[in-house]
């Protein structure tokens, strides 16, 4: 069963700060996706169709995103690469900030790791947002995670693994139980 949600995503325009764009969010609980729906942990947003244009309040084509690609499969990892922006408080170099095309509604960042080691990082403009993590591999831990955003230059993030988020949630729950247990022993 596919659940459809109408989601409003605010997208400030340099010309009109009150404008917004409306998107349909499609996710699939079965793990099987149709065009634009989620597949194996991925979720997508798609712009509304032309017949739904009465809901759209912003003109496309004014988004700027970081656009660069890193591939460390055949070269040594560079902690200070201007596209990486991950270590020692470094940020993604402004030279990678470009104007997106008229149909690009999202800034996107996707990273791929093998056994916890970064092998690829892509920052780009995109007309469709597929976000989330896709684990793969038998014996080799292969994970690809993507994040999307809709404001200027917002894809300077490093996509976080769902495993990291789950682990943090687990330890917060353990801490909560520990605090409750301490309160009970003090009462």
Domain count, the chain: 1
In a domain, 179, yes or no: no
For residue range 8-18, list pLDDT tens digits in order: 233 333 333 33
| In contact, 92 and 64? CB cutoff 8 Å | no
Q: What per-residue string of b and e applies to 42-73 under the rule 16 or more CB within 10 Å gives b?
A: bbbbbbeeeeeeeebebebebbbbbbbebebe
Q: What is the CATH number of the domain that holds 25?
A: 2.10.60.10
In a domain, 187, yes or no: no
Mean pLDDT, range 32-36, rounded to an integer: 35
Q: How confident is the model at residue 125 (pLDDT cuts 50, 70, 90)?
A: very high
Most confident of 16-25, 48-57, 96-105: 96-105
In a domain, 159, yes or no: yes
For residue range 62-109, list pLDDT tens digits in order: 899 999 999 999 898 888 889 988 777 788 999 999 999 999 999 999
Is residue 37 over pLDDT 80? no
Domain ranges, residue 33? 2-167
Predicted TM-score (pTM) of this structure: 0.57
Q: Could you give the CA distance from residue 86 to residue 63 in angstroms, rounded to a whole number?
A: 23
Number of helices (H) and strands (E), helices first, in the chain? 1, 10
**CB atoms inside a 10 Å sphere around CB 103:** 12
In a domain, 83, yes or no: yes
In a domain, 175, yes or no: no
Q: How confident is the model at residue 130 (pLDDT cuts 50, 70, 90)?
A: confident
Ranges of beta strands (E only) in 29-128 are: 43-47, 64-66, 68-71, 97-99, 106-114, 117-126
In a domain, 68, yes or no: yes
Would you state the pLDDT for residue 87?
A: 76
Is residue 6 over pLDDT 50? no
């Amino acid at each position: 069963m596919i659940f459809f949600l109408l989601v409003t995503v605010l997208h400030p325009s340099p010309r009109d700060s009150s404008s917004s764009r409306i998107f349909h969010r499609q996710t699939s609980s079965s793990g099987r996706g149709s065009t634009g729906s989620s597949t194996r942990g991925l979720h997508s947003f798609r712009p509304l169709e032309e017949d739904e244009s009465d809901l759209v309040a912003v003109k496309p084509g004014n988004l700027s995103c970081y656009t660069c690609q890193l591939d460390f499969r055949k070269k040594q990892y560079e902690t200070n690469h201007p596209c990486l922006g991950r270590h020692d408080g470094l940020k993604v170099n402004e030279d990678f900030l470009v104007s997106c095309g008229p149909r690009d509604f999202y800034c996107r960042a996707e990273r791929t790791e093998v056994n916890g080691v970064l092998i690829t990082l892509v920052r780009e403009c995109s007309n469709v947002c597929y976000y989330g993590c896709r684990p793969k591999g038998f014996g080799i831990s292969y994970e690809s995670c993507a994040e999307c955003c809709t404001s200027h230059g917002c894809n300077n993030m490093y996509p976080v693994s769902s495993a990291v988020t789950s682990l943090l949630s687990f330890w917060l729950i353990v801490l909560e139980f520990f605090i409750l247990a301490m309160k009970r022993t003090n009462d």
